[in-house]
Amino acid sequence: MRPDRFVNRRMEMWQLLRDWLASGGALPPDEALKAELAAPTYSFDSRGLLRLEAKEKVKEHLLRSPDRADALALTFAAPVAAPDLAAQPGDGGRATYDPLAW
Model confidence over 29-67: pLDDT tens digits? Answer: 999 999 999 999 999 999 999 999 999 999 999 999 999
Question: With b meaning 16 or more CB within 10 Å and e meaning fewer, what string describes 16-53?
Answer: bbeeeeeeeeeeeeeeebeebbebbeeeeeeeeebbbb
34 CB-near residues (< 8 Å, 6+ apart): 27
Which regions of the chain does DSSP assign to beta strands (E)?
Answer: 42-44, 50-52
Mean pLDDT of the chain: 86
Q: Which residue has better confidence, 9 or 101?
A: 9
* Domain spans of the chain, in order of start: 3-74
**pLDDT of amino acid 13:** 95
Q: Identity (one letter) of the amino acid at 62?
A: L
